Structure 1
Amino acid sequence: MSTLTVKSTAQSAVEGAVKGLPWTVLRLHRAALITWGAGLLAAVAVLVWMYVIGDDARAGAGACSLSPETGLPSCYEAVTESTVHEIYQQGIGLTGTALSYLMFPVAAWAGGALIGRELENGTAQLAWTQSVTPLRWLAAKLAVPALLLTAGTTAAVLLYVWARRDDDPNLVGDWYLTDVFVSTGPAAVAYVLAGLTLGALAGLLTRRALPAVGLGFAATLALYNALDHYRENLWPTVFRTGVPHYELPRSAFQVENGVLLTSGERTQDVPCGDSPPGPGCVPDTEVAGFYSVHHPESHFWPLQFVEAGIALAVAALATAAAFWILRRRTP
């Protein structure tokens, strides 16, 4: 009877350890969970406030007059509204920057605390002796924070887009600016997941907390800079020519512009006009027109989906590499 009781108790403990692994992850990293929750609540509060003061901010950004005959808002009232306008700009800008750079602290935490520290101090190895396989351990380590980060970042992005209202570039910045672009679409979520998996991979490679922080941060920074540099090449651009010289709308993401020569070649030199031909200018007789290479605002979503897809592919590869390394290093 006692033998059966002991076996039953041991079996229940094993099942509890396996089924409760996600809860163990949450409890072990509750400080990070509390910090994440507090940061998310702060972002929600700021964005709701930005939405509330949005109308006053737009009024402060518009023209004003001291004369009532013009029909423009009074400049006396605009003084107060301009202060709200500055607060709105700063609040929206700082929130967008925080969302676009969120992947970096996530990568550092994943490499240092989530994986590296537990391998360094032996906590992970102890868990593996409690009927929790290494692969199941890693799956829980990645799945739980991935779920929380995806849900929280998605909510923050949606609130951020909501708080921007009509996307007036004078208030919230042009859509193609890095911070604005990343923080207003699925790329923000994909970057966070890439940071999580790259950090975890760094932790498994180094098996130490501090080196994992540095390696995870460096890998994430390389991904971020590479996609930022080549963003204009992620979707086919629009090529436009015209005579005389024309101005693209502000909403156009300009990649290249210059002079189209009669020979069919393109150059970024300017027409010489009344000046003698020389370096930096071409004779007017050789100018056939002007050209521009750009992304219209309609390319926002194609660029977002391609960039997010690349970041998710990196996350998938990093995850696969992490499981492969763990399988090779454990019995």
Structure 2
Amino acid sequence: MSAALQGLPRTVLRLHRTALLVWAAVVAGLTGWLVYLNEVTAAATRRAERACAHTDVCIDSFDRFDYGTTVGWIGTLICYTFLAVAAFAGGALVGRELESGTARLAWTQGVTPVRWLTAKLALPAVAVAAGGLTLVLAFRWGWSAGEDLIPVTHWYQSDIIVARGPLTVAYGLCALAVGALAALLLRRTLAALGAAFAAMWLLNFLLTRYRADLWPAITRTSGRSIELPDNAWRVNSGRNADGYFAVYHPASHFWPLQWVETGIVLAAAALTTAAAYAVLRRRAA
């Protein structure tokens, strides 16, 4: 193995250490926010609720609303971290080096294009996976610890369903691959950044729109109004010639829906990665 190849991971780390530090700060900040929310804010909200039992004037519902809204915002931020990953991969990670010509310079220093791209993607992939896993575990802990204080946020909301499972990691890895492919195709920093961002937004939009169809829903019919289980995701309902009907996902469908969508996103990541290497070989030939 050449000295140039041995030093490539160190070079990637040095070039992108600011992005790595920002990502670490985001993960630490959101995790710390969840800890504060559940150790301080939740305790204060529960004290206010207990005090409400002894007075006729009570505003604890506002405390609950604020708590639930904050949890929702954290879930949204965790969910859409993949858009930042796509922009970074398409722009600073790969696109900038292709546009400036430093990538071809590296290829003349004993590093093959394939090994160059592998080194460019390996460290960010580890960082994205580790950071995403940390955020998921923190959010799941926070959700479970304060679920009784969340009156307006449901398990099937788009942001929450991503933030509570491996979809966060899957979307992050897919965004990394999409960014690299966009950069290799366009070879312009801003164009690749925008294309990667748009492609990942579109993928998430489509999967969110059709998420209810990823796992068979339960259908119930009755001659009178149907009461669904607590926290069920009502997909469709109404009345027909046979009476009332309701199509829904119970809370137990969270994991089947999660794993199916995760598989789809990881498959997209694998195909995009393979396409990126195919484009690289053609460009470098």
TM-score by length of 1: 0.80
Distance in structure 1 (CA, Å) of the matches to 2:8 and 2:63: 48
Kept in 1, the 8 Å contact 2:65–2:152? The answer is: no
Equivalent position of 1:292 in the other structure: 246
Kept in 2, the 8 Å contact 1:252–1:296? The answer is: yes
Among 187, 206, 220, the residue aligned to 1:240? 220
Instruction: Give the 3 Å change call, closer, same or farther, for CA 190–58 of structure 1 in structure 2.
Output: farther
Distance in structure 1 (CA, Å) of the matches to 2:54 and 2:273: 57
Greater gyration radius:
1
When the two structures are aligned, how many residues end up with a matched partner?
A: 283
One-letter amino acid of the counterpart of residue 137, structure 2: L
Equivalent position of 1:112 in the other structure: 91
Equivalent position of 2:161 in the other structure: 181
Equivalent position of 2:21 in the other structure: 34
Distance in structure 1 (CA, Å) of the matches to 2:46 and 2:152: 11
Q: Which runs of 5+ in 2 are unaligned?
A: none
Kept in 2, the 8 Å contact 1:58–1:85? The answer is: no
- SS for the counterpart of 1:290 is strand
Equivalent position of 2:6 in the other structure: 19
Distance in structure 2 (CA, Å) of the matches to 1:181 and 1:248: 20
- SS for the counterpart of 2:239 is strand
Kept in 1, the 8 Å contact 2:94–2:183? The answer is: yes
Distance in structure 2 (CA, Å) of the matches to 1:319 and 1:58: 48
Distance in structure 2 (CA, Å) of the matches to 1:177 and 1:128: 46
Q: Which runs of 5+ in 1 are unaligned?
A: 1-13, 66-71, 262-287
CA positional deviation for 1:218? 1.2
Q: Percent identity?
A: 47
One-letter amino acid of the counterpart of residue 109, structure 1: F
Equivalent position of 2:31 in the other structure: 44
Distance in structure 1 (CA, Å) of the matches to 2:192 and 2:89: 8
Kept in 2, the 8 Å contact 1:92–1:172? The answer is: no
1:229 aligns with 2:194: no
Distance in structure 1 (CA, Å) of the matches to 2:121 and 2:163: 23
1:307 aligns with 2:261: yes
CA positional deviation for 1:92? 1.4
- SS for the counterpart of 1:56 is helix
1:57 aligns with 2:45: yes
Distance in structure 1 (CA, Å) of the matches to 2:23 and 2:109: 29
CA RMSD of aligned residues (A): 2.0
- SS for the counterpart of 1:168 is helix
CA positional deviation for 1:142? 1.1
Equivalent position of 2:82 in the other structure: 103
Distance in structure 1 (CA, Å) of the matches to 2:141 and 2:16: 31
- SS for the counterpart of 1:167 is helix
Structure 1 segments of 4+ aligned residues over 3 angstroms from their partners? 62-65, 73-76, 81-87, 168-172
Instruction: Give the 3 Å change call, closer, same or farther, for CA 64–245 of structure 1 in structure 2.
Output: farther
CA positional deviation for 1:191? 0.8
One-letter amino acid of the counterpart of residue 261, structure 2: E
CA positional deviation for 1:59? 5.4
Equivalent position of 1:278 in the other structure: none
Instruction: Give the 3 Å change call, closer, same or farther, for CA 20–87 of structure 1 in structure 2.
Output: farther
Kept in 1, the 8 Å contact 2:68–2:151? The answer is: yes
Instruction: Note the 1:276-287 alignment, pairs <5 A.
Output: none
Kept in 2, the 8 Å contact 1:46–1:91? The answer is: no
Instruction: Give the 3 Å change call, closer, same or farther, for CA 121–244 of structure 1 in structure 2.
Output: same
Equivalent position of 1:201 in the other structure: 181
1:258 aligns with 2:212: no
Higher helix share: 2
Distance in structure 1 (CA, Å) of the matches to 2:230 and 2:160: 15
Of structures 1 and 2, the one with the larger relative CO (CA 8 A, separation 6+) is 2
TM-score by length of 2: 0.93
The Cα offsets for residues 239-280 of structure 1, whole Å up to 9 and x where unpaired, read as 11122212213411111111131xxxxxxxxxxxxxxxxxxx
Distance in structure 2 (CA, Å) of the matches to 1:59 and 1:240: 41
The Cα offsets for residues 140-185 of structure 1, whole Å up to 9 and x where unpaired, read as 1111101111001101110011011253373461000111111101
One-letter amino acid of the counterpart of residue 15, structure 1: S
